[in-house]
Amino acid sequence: MTTASRGAGAAISAVIITREAGRHLAAVLAPLTFCAERLVLDSGSTDDTVAIATAAGGRVEHQPFLGYGPQKARAVALARHDWILSIDADEVLDEEAAAAIRDLDLSDPTACWELRRRTFIGGREILHGPWQDERVVRLFNRTRAGFRPLVVHEQVEGATNARLLPGSILHRSYDDLVDVLARPLRYAPLKATLIRDKGESVRLWTLPLRAAWAFCQAFFVRGGWRDGAAGFVIAVARALDSTLPRALLLFGRRG
């Protein structure tokens, strides 16, 4: 009998992809003890990531990094159970969310669930701007849904009519405002590859317009100004994220 047909109490595999994730990994794994398996797919960590996962009872596998979507798809494929709870290495389930997942009836393999994600910069929660009321699909059956092979900004496809679970994911992704600005710089080459593969046209004159629109959306339209300096930096990061990958493509064409 497969896990998809056991109904309530079906086994769940929690899957996490990691690289140099030692800072938060113990906290990430701790609320997931209700899962039948906690699979950590590591891509060459040199810190204590693997030791922390092993000490916590996690199952560790290794895979050179393939891009975020393909890496998560690989983790899903390696899992021992069909029901997948996908958690990032800087995301912590709160008690309400963990309890809600434990009580789910998993008799329908077409069902899927999403969770609210609350993002923090250091110890401060960001309440407005583009991160407010963020919802992400995190629990699905791999026989009906899975990750698209996108190198960045990966998404779960096949997950339709996702239901919202009580509770939240605490997203502790950013240490400080400098880290917020560094993120679009780090992701820019991956996003440039994605834009190129889609065959999107890129024009130099559109870059300042894109930057202005992204900033205004984040800071004014979405109310990021309510978060003060943090809201301003997030809006600047959005402007970078919308333009820097395209600038890299233009530079490459002229180089």
For every residue of 210-237, which 3-state class applies, written as one string? HHHHHHHHHHHHCCHHHHCHHHHHHHHH
Q: Which one-letter amino acid corresponds to residue 43?
A: S
The domain boundary residue, chosen from 174, 203, 226: 174
CATH number of the domain encompassing residue 19: 3.90.550.10
Same domain, residue pair 46 and 127: yes
pLDDT tens string 72-92: 999 999 999 999 999 999 999
pTM beyond 0.75: yes
Could you give the CA distance from residue 185 to residue 182 in angstroms, rounded to a whole number? 5
Instruction: Measure the CA angle with vertex 213, ends 209 and 217; round to 5°.
Output: 175
The domain tally of the chain equals: 2
Identify the CA nearest to 159 among candidates 169, 147, 145: 145
* Shared domain check, 143 and 52: yes
Same domain, 137 and 49: yes
Same domain, residue pair 184 and 130: no
Residue 36 to residue 164: CA distance in whole angstroms: 22
Which of 131, 148, 174 is at the close of a domain?
Answer: 174
Which residues partner with 39 through β-bridges?
A: 15, 59
In a shared domain, residues 63 and 187: no
Q: What is the β-pairing status of strands 37-42 and 59-62?
A: parallel
- Distance between CA 92 and CA 138 in Å, rounded? 12
Residue 187 has pLDDT above 90, yes or no: yes
168 and 196 in a single domain? The answer is no
Considering the domain architecture, whether residues 201 and 157 belong to the same structural domain is answered as no
Tell me: the pLDDT tens digits for 107-118? Answer: 999 999 999 999
Is the same domain home to 185 and 143? no
Amino acid identity, residue 160?
T
Write out pLDDT tens, residues 192-247. 999 999 999 999 999 999 999 999 999 999 999 999 999 999 999 999 999 999 99
One domain, residues 98 and 208: no
Q: Which of 143, 174, 205 is the last residue of a domain?
A: 174
The residue segments making up the domain with residue 10 are: 3-174
Does one domain contain both 245 and 169? Answer: no
What interhelical angle do 229-254 and 177-198 show, nearest 10?
A: 40
Same domain? 47 vs 13: yes
CA gap 92, 115 in Å, rounded:
12
One domain for residues 125 and 156: yes
